[in-house]
Amino acid sequence: MRWSVILMLAALFGFGGGCHSTPSGNHASNGGGSGNGSGPSGGMSEEVYRVRRERMVSTQIEARGITDPRVLAAMRKVSRHLFIPEAERELAYDDGPVPIGEGQTISQPYIVALMTELIRPQPGDRVLEVGTGSGYQAAVLAELAAEVYTIEILEPLALRAASLLRDLGYANVHTRIGDGYRGWPEKAPFDAIIVTAAPGRVPEPLKQQLAPGGRLVIPVGTAYQELVLITRTASGFREEAVTPVRFVPMTGEAEKNR
């Protein structure tokens, strides 16, 4: 029933995608501290942003069926506007994706909340994110899990996100510059994996890096995309289509497998 409601909503609202990513490469930096801090926010006061953030959660997220209290609390806590370039900051709490540079976007708030709820992050979990982008999804995950490992293929975005996450005190977020198609094998297994760019098909290395019972949520497709939830079971993998979405395409090795 819930997924049918989500599918109807998908027809009414445009779903934005995040940034491309997947392994290799160098560390952009590791975070420092813990929890969500505050930073320069441009023109409006923090109270105005707080009110907009509360309205975002109630009208865009709770109203569409997100019920996990920890996810809702994280969405209320993390200052989304800090992850958006100042010129676009007025749009931070709107119901849609927002440009963040390098041809990329920060995903629609509802989609961030939906993907987070789907992986069911627990306080002791280790989570992999493929596609750091602005760093916003990583910050939300850092409020919910023990450790977050996030990979970004575009160096300018990776460096900017790593710096911001460090400044905000997220010591449990570990960043890496590279192509995340093959995940982060030396840090596997992961209790959950979130992918914020769409490959033509699910990368097998990501599935293999799931711990038993682990959950992978990923947009899949080219002209038509679906958000897919994959769970590792005792006998293999269970796959479930969730809702139509629109994400930026995954680049790097994924382009060879379209």
CATH of the domain at 153: 3.40.50.150
What's the pLDDT at 37? 39
* Domain housing 120: 2-257
Buried b (16+ CB within 10 A) or exposed e, 36-73: beeeebeeeeeeebeebbeebbeebbeebbbebeebbe
CA-CA distance, 131 to 129, in Å (whole number)?
A: 6
CA-CA distance, 127 to 173, in Å (whole number)?
A: 10
β 225-233/210-221 pair status: antiparallel
Residues 6+ apart with CB under 8 A from 112: 75, 136, 137, 140
Structure tokens at 123: 């306080």
Active site residues: 107
- The continuous run of DSSP H or E covering 109 comes out as helix 109-119
Contact 244, 14 (CB under 8 A): no
| pLDDT band of 17, cuts 50, 70, 90 | very low
CA-CA distance, 135 to 29, in Å (whole number)?
A: 13
Contact 24, 178 (CB under 8 A): yes
CA-CA distance, 134 to 146, in Å (whole number)?
A: 20
| pLDDT band of 43, cuts 50, 70, 90 | low
Contact 116, 183 (CB under 8 A): no
pTM of the model: 0.84
CA-CA distance, 117 to 139, in Å (whole number)?
A: 14
Give the residues across from 22 on adjacent strands.
179
User: What does the pLDDT look like over 119-169, one tens digit per residue?
Assistant: 999 999 999 999 999 999 999 999 999 999 999 999 999 999 999 999 999
> Does residue 31 surpass a pLDDT of 80?
no
Total domains in the chain come to 1
